[in-house]
């Protein structure tokens, strides 16, 4: 479909008064650039000085800047009257608050307000089915985040411990859906309305990708969803790496020693 594009998003899962539900923080404008930083895996101290031996896997981070502007939401009131109303009353503060809450431990609610965990099979298929729907064109031009959140919603109904920050997925197209933790959040508020609500801001975000070892310590369906997301994206990465073998490399191979 010409003219449409997917918007990136951060999808967090936190307990609410109606149960644990996904909070989709849709990027108002996709960042023009993303810095993808890798930290080499540490050397294995028990590898008898083998220079290639490592312990663990490399670290991975994403850094980018988001622009927020309430004027666009107000001007687009026909498409989303709720968002336009919030922008008129509160500017971009609801979006900023959603980003800020990604760094706070989720509060535990009393009284058994959160439902029981759905079947593990539902959680295991949540991320992959959402991404598959988006890749197959079943999702409209806005974002694949809605597909992911819709399929994992029923699987993410267990209360997050009060000492844990929310489980967050960084959704950047159907081929990058990774569990992350926000390690840096810097907000520059630029303009305000008459009630001093921020109306424009630039947000610098750094996300650290969580590893399978770390995710193995996250309990319940939320941890399962995060692990499935990691395995899904890592599997695609490995597939693309194999596909690169099809590039024409005859001239380079010819320069290698005969043993190759």
184 pLDDT band, cuts 50/70/90, is: very high
CA distance 147 to 151: 6
* pLDDT tens digits along 13-55: 765 555 566 889 999 999 999 999 999 887 777 767 777 777 7
Whether 179 and 12 have beta carbons less than 8 Å apart is answered as no
The pLDDT value recorded for residue 118 is: 39
Backbone angles phi, psi at 223, to 5 degrees: -65, -35
Q: In the chain, pLDDT over 70 holds for what percent of residues?
A: 67
Check whether 2 has a pLDDT greater than 70.
no
Q: In the chain, pLDDT over 90 holds for what percent of residues?
A: 37
Report the Cα–Cα distance between both ends of the chain, in Å, rounded: 46
The pLDDT value recorded for residue 133 is: 57
Whether 20 and 156 have beta carbons less than 8 Å apart is answered as yes
Do you know the residue count of the chain? 260
Check whether 134 has a pLDDT greater than 80.
no
Check whether 116 has a pLDDT greater than 50.
no
Averaged pLDDT, 172-183: 94
The pLDDT value recorded for residue 10 is: 97
């Amino acid at each position: 479909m010409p003219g449409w594009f997917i918007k990136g998003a951060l999808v967090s899962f936190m307990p609410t008064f109606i149960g644990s539900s996904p909070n989709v923080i849709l990027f108002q404008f996709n960042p023009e650039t993303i810095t993808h930083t890798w930290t080499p895996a540490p050397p294995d101290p028990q590898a008898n000085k083998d220079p290639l031996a490592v312990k663990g896997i490399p670290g991975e981070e994403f850094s980018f800047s988001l622009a927020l502007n309430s004027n666009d939401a107000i001007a687009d009131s026909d498409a989303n009257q709720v968002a336009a109303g919030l922008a008129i009353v509160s500017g971009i503060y609801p979006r900023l608050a959603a980003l800020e809450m990604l760094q706070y431990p989720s509060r535990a609610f009393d009284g058994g307000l959160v439902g029981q965990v759905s079947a593990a099979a539902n959680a295991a298929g949540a991320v992959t089915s959402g991404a598959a729907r988006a890749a197959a064109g079943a999702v409209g031009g806005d974002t694949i985040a809605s597909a992911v959140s819709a399929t994992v919603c029923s699987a993410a109904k267990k209360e997050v411990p009060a000492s844990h920050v929310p489980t967050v997925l960084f959704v950047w197209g159907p081929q990058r859906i990774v569990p992350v933790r926000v390690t840096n959040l810097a907000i520059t508020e630029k303009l305000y309305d008459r009630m001093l609500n921020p109306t424009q801001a630039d947000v610098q975000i750094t996300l650290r990708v969580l590893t399978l070892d770390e995710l193995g310590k996250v309990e319940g369906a939320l941890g399962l969803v995060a692990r499935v997301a990691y395995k899904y994206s890592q599997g695609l990465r490995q597939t693309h790496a194999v596909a690169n073998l099809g590039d024409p490399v005859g001239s380079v191979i010819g320069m290698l020693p005969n043993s190759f």
